[in-house]
Amino acid sequence: MSTAESSAPRLQWSLIVPVKVLARAKTRLSAAAGPHREALALAVAADTVAAALRCDRVRSVIVVTDDPVPAAELAALGATVVPDEPDAGLNPALVHGAQRSRATVPHTGVGAISADLPALRPGELARVLDAAAQVPAAFVPDAAGIGTTLYTARPGVPFSPAFGGDSRAAHRARGAAELLLDDIDSVRRDVDTLDDLKIALKLGAGPRTTAVAARLPALGDSMRAAPG
């Protein structure tokens, strides 16, 4: 890389984070989380948003939600919160958030990122966003290799997310570049099950998720055995 390239300003990004109404969030963790399920869902989303906001490639985080509880907490962290006005499913909600972003900061890239990445590391996210800046549209597959945790479009490129089901194949079919960088585990580790949560905790989940996880009977012994 030349000196001019290394000193050039990096593309800045607006990230759209969809957050479910807590009553419907993390239902696959119902048995393990019990009465703490909603608190866990909120903690995971808050740790994700907080980490994204600490990434120096991220200019803004736009949360799309109709639940006033996460809306207030995530706004307090520094996110911009907008209602899910389309109320037509995940991808329309993401497009709505992207439209709001492009109306206010048209020169940034736009990305949709899962709200369940509690171990997200700002440095790993920065590496991914720098790679995404080199192609019109890109995505990061989840750790299972079936879904997607991040989808991006550069300024001026149509924003066409295809989350849900086999979204890895769907994003490939739409021509988005698949980003399979080394050492980006925290960007790929979304949390839907108890095993996912255990892995995220080993990676180093954020403080809110760690605190709630410590109250789960299913994790009690392992949390007490964890160092620190």
Q: Which residues contact 39 (CB under 8 A, 6 or more apart)?
A: 212
pLDDT averaged over every residue in the chain: 93
For residue 77, give both structure tokens.
């962290």
11-53: pLDDT as tens digits = 999 999 999 999 999 999 999 999 999 999 999 999 999 999 9
Pairwise pLDDT comparison (17 vs 9), residue with the higher score? 17
Domains of the chain: which residue ranges?
Answer: 10-218
Q: In what order do the strands lie in the sheet with 80-82?
A: 80-82, 58-64, 13-18, 109-113, 148-153, 137-141, 177-178
Mean pLDDT over 105-130 rounds to 97
Q: What is the mean pLDDT of residues 130-144?
A: 97
Is 148 labelled as part of a ligand binding site? yes
One-letter amino acid at 205 equals A
Report how far residue 136's alpha carbon sits from residue 147's, in angstroms, rounded to the nearest whole number.
Answer: 20
Query: Which CATH number is associated with domain 10-218?
Result: 3.90.550.10
* Mode of pairing for the β-strands spanning 13-18 and 177-178: unpaired
pLDDT-derived band at 219 (thresholds 50, 70, 90) equals: confident
13-22, 70-79, 81-90: least confident range: 81-90
97 is in an annotated binding site: no
Give pTM, 2 decimals: 0.92
Per-residue pLDDT band for 8 (boundaries 50, 70, 90) equals low
Q: Which two tokens stand for residue 4?
A: 């001019």
Q: Which pLDDT score is estimated for 228?
A: 41
> Is 156 labelled as part of a ligand binding site?
no
- Residues 82 and 64: beta-carbon distance below 8 Å: yes
